[in-house]
Chains A and B, each alone.
Chain A
Amino acid sequence: MLGEQIIKGMAVTARNFFGSYVSKERLTTVQYPEERLVPKENTRQFPFLVYDGDDAEKGLRCVACQICEKECPPQCIYIVKSKDKKPDYKGQPQLYPLTFDIDISVCMSCSICVEVCPFESIKMDTEFELSTDDRFAGLLLHKQDLAKPNSHYHQVHAQDAKDSDAVIAGEKAKAEAKARAAAEKARAEAEAKAKAAAAAAAPAPAAPPPPAA
Chain B
Amino acid sequence: MFEKLDQIFVTLKHLVLGYVPEALQPLVSAVLSVTLILSVFPGIFAIVTIFERKGIGRIQNRYGPNRVGIPFTNIRLCGFGQFIPDGIKSLTKEDIVPRAADRVVHFLAPIVMLIPVLLAYAVLPFGRNMTVADFDAGLLFFFAVGGAVEISVFMAGWSSRNKYSLLGAMRAIAQMVSYEIPLILSAVTVVMIVGSLKLVDIVAAQNHYTFGIAHWYVFTPWGFVGCILFFIASLAESNRSPFDLPEAESEIIAGYFTEYSGFKFALFFLGEYLGMFAIIGLGITLFLGGWTSPVSFLTWIPSYVWFVTKMIAIVFVFIWIRATLPRLRMDQLMNLAWKLMLPLALINIVVAGIWHFMGPDWQRWLVCAAIIFGAYLVLGRGLMRHQKLGKRTYRYAE
Chain A interface (Cβ within 8 Å of chain B)? 1-3, 6, 9-10, 12-14, 16-17, 19-21, 26-29, 31
Please determine whether A13 and B62 come into contact, CB atoms closer than 8 angstroms. no
Please determine whether B61 and A28 come into contact, CB atoms closer than 8 angstroms. yes
Given contacts A13-B324, A16-B60, A27-B62, 4 further A-B contacts (CB under 8 A): A14-B320, A16-B59, A17-B320, A27-B61
Please determine whether A31 and B320 come into contact, CB atoms closer than 8 angstroms. no
With a CB–CB cut-off of 8 A, which chain A residues contact B377?
1
A26-B61 contact, Cβ under 8 Å, with A13-B323, A14-B320:
yes
Bound CA span A14–B340, Å: 27
A-B contact pairs, 6 of them (CB 8 A): A1-B377, A16-B58, A17-B55, A17-B58, A26-B61, A29-B62
Query: Does B224 reach chain A (CB closer than 8 Å)?
Result: no
Please determine whether B58 and A21 come into contact, CB atoms closer than 8 angstroms. yes
Of B61, B320, B381, B384, which one neighbours A10 at CB under 8 angstroms? B320
Chain B interface mostly: helix
With a CB–CB cut-off of 8 A, which chain A residues contact B320?
10, 13-14, 17
Closest to B317 in A: A10
With a CB–CB cut-off of 8 A, which chain B residues contact A21?
58
Chain B interface (Cβ within 8 Å of chain A)? 55, 58-63, 320-321, 323-325, 340, 376-377, 379-381, 383-384
With a CB–CB cut-off of 8 A, which chain B residues contact A6?
324-325
With a CB–CB cut-off of 8 A, which chain A residues contact B340?
2
Closest to A29 in B: B62
CB distance from A79 to the nearest CB of B (A): 44
With a CB–CB cut-off of 8 A, which chain B residues contact A28?
61-62
With a CB–CB cut-off of 8 A, which chain B residues contact A1?
377, 380
With a CB–CB cut-off of 8 A, which chain B residues contact A14?
320
Bound CA span A17–B321, Å: 12
With a CB–CB cut-off of 8 A, which chain B residues contact A9?
324-325
Closest to B336 in A: A2
Closest to B228 in A: A3
With a CB–CB cut-off of 8 A, which chain A residues contact B61?
16, 19-20, 26-28
What are the 4 closest A-B residue pairs judged by CB atoms, nearest first?
A: A2-B380, A13-B324, A20-B58, A17-B59
Closest to A28 in B: B61
Closest to A16 in B: B59
Closest to B387 in A: A2
A29-B376 contact, Cβ under 8 Å, with A2-B383, A9-B324, A14-B320:
no
CB distance from B2 to the nearest CB of A (A): 33
Bound CA span A20–B376, Å: 35
With a CB–CB cut-off of 8 A, which chain A residues contact B380?
1-3
Of B62, B63, B325, B384, which one neighbours A2 at CB under 8 angstroms? B384
Closest to B376 in A: A2
With a CB–CB cut-off of 8 A, which chain A residues contact B324?
6, 9-10, 12-13
CB distance from B20 to the nearest CB of A (A): 49
Closest to A30 in B: B63
Please determine whether A29 and B323 come into contact, CB atoms closer than 8 angstroms. no
A29-B63 contact, Cβ under 8 Å, with A3-B380, A21-B58:
yes
With a CB–CB cut-off of 8 A, which chain A residues contact B58?
16-17, 20-21
Please determine whether A10 and B59 come into contact, CB atoms closer than 8 angstroms. no
| Residue among B62, B323, B324, B383 with max Cβ neighbours from chain A (10 Å) | B324
Bound CA span A89–B51, Å: 63
With a CB–CB cut-off of 8 A, which chain B residues contact A12?
324
Bound CA span A31–B379, Å: 49
Bound CA span A163–B58, Å: 45
CB distance from A2 to the nearest CB of B (A): 3
Closest to B379 in A: A2
Closest to A21 in B: B58
Closest to B389 in A: A5
Please determine whether B321 and A10 come into contact, CB atoms closer than 8 angstroms. yes
Bound CA span A54–B359, Å: 97
| Residue among B58, B381, B383 with max Cβ neighbours from chain A (10 Å) | B58
Bound CA span A26–B58, Å: 10
Closest to B381 in A: A2
Closest to A8 in B: B324
CB distance from B342 to the nearest CB of A (A): 15
Please determine whether A27 and B63 come into contact, CB atoms closer than 8 angstroms. yes
Bound CA span A21–B63, Å: 9
Bound CA span A21–B376, Å: 37
Closest to A1 in B: B380
| Residue among B55, B62, B377, B379 with max Cβ neighbours from chain A (10 Å) | B62
Closest to B326 in A: A9
CB distance from A29 to the nearest CB of B (A): 5
Bound CA span A2–B381, Å: 7
Bound CA span A151–B324, Å: 51
CB distance from A26 to the nearest CB of B (A): 5
With a CB–CB cut-off of 8 A, which chain B residues contact A27?
61-63
| Residue among A2, A6, A27, A29 with max Cβ neighbours from chain B (10 Å) | A2
Closest to B384 in A: A2
With a CB–CB cut-off of 8 A, which chain A residues contact B376?
2
Bound CA span A45–B324, Å: 39
CB distance from A16 to the nearest CB of B (A): 5
CB distance from A168 to the nearest CB of B (A): 46
With a CB–CB cut-off of 8 A, which chain B residues contact A13?
59, 320, 323-324
CB distance from B386 to the nearest CB of A (A): 13
With a CB–CB cut-off of 8 A, which chain B residues contact A19?
61
CB distance from A152 to the nearest CB of B (A): 32
Bound CA span A21–B57, Å: 11
A31-B63 contact, Cβ under 8 Å, with A1-B380, A2-B376, A13-B324:
yes
